[in-house]
Amino acid sequence: MAKILVIDDEKAIRYALKEILEHEKHSVDEAEDGATGLDKARKGKFDLVLCDIKMPKMDGLEVLEKLQAHDPDLPVVMISGHGTIDTAVDALKKGAFDFIQKPPDINRILVSVRNALDRSDLVQETKVLRQKVQKGKAGGVRMVGTSKALSAIQDMIDKVAPSDARVLITGGNGAGKEGVARLLHEKSQRAQGPFVEVNCAAIPGELIESELFGHVKGSFTSAIKDRKGKFELADGGTLFLDEIGDMSLAAQAKVLRALQESRITPVGGDKDVKVDVRVVAATNKDLKKEIAEGRFREDLYHRLGVIPIHVPPLAERAEDNPLLAAHFIELVCTEQGIALKNITEKAVKELQKLPWTGNVRELRNVIERLVILSGKEIGEAEVKAYAAPRV
């Protein structure tokens, strides 16, 4: 049962709306003009306001603006017997949830009220979810979820971050390895220093050494000036070597030396450069298998893996899906500049059934697709139509 305020100078309209809403088991209060209605709204706690536009003492649009300033989350449905498209657009621009013309159609009223109350519930649920995910937030980086696996990772980060111990993060593509690395940095004593990321899989083998260690002018054809490498750029901070398993053996040897001696030599240079860097590495490969097959150095593996952290696939922590879905819906709606959309419980359960081979990254992409292609609400049917994997 919701508590609803009806503001209208026409007694017959107030009575009709009160009858309709009370029949739906809602509690209804009335106000005969805008000033009285605004006073009641400020003093009481209402779930919804129905407000006429043309009224004595205070115009309905002015009431709307003042209600928005008082409580931006309070849904307001505007009603007018002198409605035009311009009036409706003006009301919606100022924050009205809906606009209904007089005489109000019963079904139209009920649908609008139901949608407004659903939206109000969603706003409150989102606030609760936001409070929950704040527990996994550090300096803008979030770990969203309440699963045992995620809690264990968070505990490990809290213990390891203050030290300078090297960390090796393992897990599938899109599982959230970069997020773990950023949290390690932001919770460390190096948080004010740079966080420099290198995707070892995206850099050609012949350029990886120059990317990591820099080069001097003339060391190769395109070296037209001296250039600092990522190790030097990360001095005083954290260097994140993503997909370390794709690095060439030659580059691995130089990384091993840098870790052992805290020194690097730019390509083509003859002078060492001292660096103070914490290295965090990540891979989606089985490095022990890579070692056995001669593609990865065992001594580097042991240097990097002082603290191992494994990020399990999303399929193994399905209980995190509701929070992740809510988080991504809010994120995507904000990015797209559209009203926050609701997702039904059945839709979430349908999402939990999917294999998520692309992990959290795939879920984020699917949520963006659902937000764009769905109406005001993301339901089970939309998930089945737009989220299910296709061959």
For 154-172, the pLDDT digits (tens) are 999 999 999 999 999 999 9
pLDDT attached to residue 142? 63
Query: Which residues have CB under 8 Å from 104's CB, separation 6+?
Result: 13, 16, 17, 79
Q: Say which CATH topology domain 315-386 has.
A: Helicase, Ruva Protein; domain 3 (1.10.8)
Burial tier of 206 (Cβ tally within 10 Å: 0-12, 13-18, 19+): exposed
pLDDT attached to residue 2? 86
Q: Which amino acid is at 352?
A: Q
Q: Please report, for residues 38, 241, 252, the alpha-carbon distance to residue 255 in angstroms, rounded to integers and kept in the order given.
A: 68, 10, 5
Return the half-sphere exposure (C-beta side, CA atoms, 13 A cut-off) of residue 173. Answer: 6
For 131-157, the pLDDT digits (tens) are 444 444 434 456 788 899 999 999 999
Contact (Cβ atoms closer than 8 angstroms) between residue 261 and residue 303:
no
Q: Which amino acid is at 354?
A: L
pLDDT attached to residue 199? 92
Query: Which residues have CB under 8 Å from 249's CB, separation 6+?
Result: 295, 296, 297
pLDDT attached to residue 138? 39
pLDDT attached to residue 72? 84
Cα three-residue angle 204-200-153, rounded to 5 degrees: 165
pLDDT attached to residue 186? 92
Distance CA 188, CA 236 (A): 11
Please give the CATH superfamily to which domain 3-125 belongs: Response regulator (3.40.50.2300)
Contact (Cβ atoms closer than 8 angstroms) between residue 187 and residue 179:
no
CB count in 10 Å sphere of residue 15: 13
pLDDT attached to residue 334? 87
What are the contacts of 179-182 at 24+ separation with CB within 8 A? 179/141, 179/142, 179/143, 180/143, 180/153, 180/282, 180/309, 180/311, 181/238, 181/240, 181/242, 181/280, 181/282, 182/141, 182/240
pLDDT attached to residue 226? 87
The DSSP H or E segment spanning 238 is strand 238-242
pLDDT attached to residue 343? 93
pLDDT attached to residue 127? 58
**What percentage of the chain exceeds 70 in pLDDT?**
93
What is the DSSP code string of 318-336?
Answer: GGGHHHHHHHHHHHHHHHH
Distance CA 349, CA 344 (A): 9
Q: Which of 352, 320, 358, 307 is nearest to 136 (CA)?
A: 320
What is the DSSP code string of 239-266?
Answer: EEEETGGGS-HHHHHHHHHHHHHSEE--
What is the C-alpha end-to-end distance of the chain, expressed in Å?
46
Domain boundaries, the chain: 3-125, 139-312, 315-386
Q: Indicate if 139-312 has the same CATH topology as 3-125.
A: yes
**Average pLDDT for runs of 10 along the chain of length 391:** 90 91 92 92 90 88 89 89 77 88 86 86 63 43 82 94 96 92 94 93 84 88 84 95 93 92 90 94 96 96 95 92 91 88 92 91 94 92 81 42
The DSSP H or E segment spanning 20 is helix 11-23
Distance CA 108, CA 347 (A): 26
pTM here? Answer: 0.62
Peptide bond into 72 cis (omega under 30): no
Is 139-312 in CATH node 3.30.530.20? no
pLDDT attached to residue 134? 44
3-class DSSP state of 18: helix
